[in-house]
Amino acid sequence: MAFDPPIEPLIELRGVNKHYGDLHVLQDINLTVSRGEVVVVIGPSGSGKSTLCRAINRLESVESGAIHLEGRPLPEEGKALAGLRAEVGMVFQSFNLFAHKTVLQNVSLAQIKVRRRKREDADRRSRELLERVGLAAHADKYPAQLSGGQQQRVAIARALAMEPTVLLFDEPTSALDPEMINEVLEVMRQLVDEGMTMVVVTHEMGFARSAANRVVFMADGKIVEDRPPEEFFTDPHSERARDFLSKIL
Ligand code: ADP
Ligand code: MG
């Protein structure tokens, strides 16, 4: 009899808790993300979605529980932490590009500093990635010369340049004008097709329906539902989810 090999969880959170003062922002969070999975996290503002993302690459510490990446606990500090941030790429709502560096420099910088690549190797890879996100012609511009959608695609190229194991997106299209949302979602869909493991906080329900393997619905610091999108959107179990969906759909 043949056995399927166990699917190793890429990210695993077990019993994770965090407070901000009296606010219990992450309440006993259990979440597993397998290699190649796309998990979309949705929920009302203030429910802890960003804190959850930030905990996964240790931009925030947690008080109890365990977070494992590829079976190992997240590193606490030092060089290993910089390595973790490269391994777990993050794309923010606000792009967070370096304003005084060119597009090319933005994509190359961490490759040189963290991955210890030579500048010419880093730049070569950066140009390939800029080509991939449709920005080859903009390599020598500064972020302020680009549209929001273009800046966000630079941020995605920058995260990809580190050859991450997983990419976290925290509302990547929320700061964009409507006509620019699709160009960013298109790049994200391309990554999905390539098998990238992704955790995506978004209000783009079309993306959630078509690209996610699972939808995680959060409210008040808890994971309330964690189900395939076709089930979640047609038959949400919780009152909180029904209420949320009625407001945004
Ligand atoms: P979401 O991303 O779902 O909107 P967040 O994770 O950003 O939620 O925030 C969850 C709650 O924690 C909110 O009530 C927010 O005001 C609070 N919060 C977030 N960051 C901090 C912080 N650094 N200090 C104090 N409270 C915070
Ligand atoms: Mg948020």
- 183-194: pLDDT as tens digits: 999 999 999 999
**pLDDT-based confidence at residue 5 (cuts at 50, 70, 90):** low
Q: What is the pLDDT of residues 122-166, one digit of tens each?
A: 999 999 999 999 999 999 999 999 999 999 999 999 999 999 999
- 48 C-alpha to center of ligand 2: Å? 7
Confidence at residue 2, expressed as pLDDT on a 0 to 100 scale: 59
- Nearest residue CA, atom 5 of ligand 1? 48
Q: In the prediction, which pLDDT does 79 show? A: 79
CA 4 to chain centre: 29
Residues with Cβ–ion distance below 5 A, ligand 2: 49-50
The confidence score (pLDDT) of residue 78 equals: 75
The pTM for the full model equals: 0.95
Amino acid 83: pLDDT: 84
Take atom 24 of ligand 1 and give the residue whose Cα is closest.
Answer: 20
The residue whose CA has the least distance to atom 21 of ligand 1 is 20
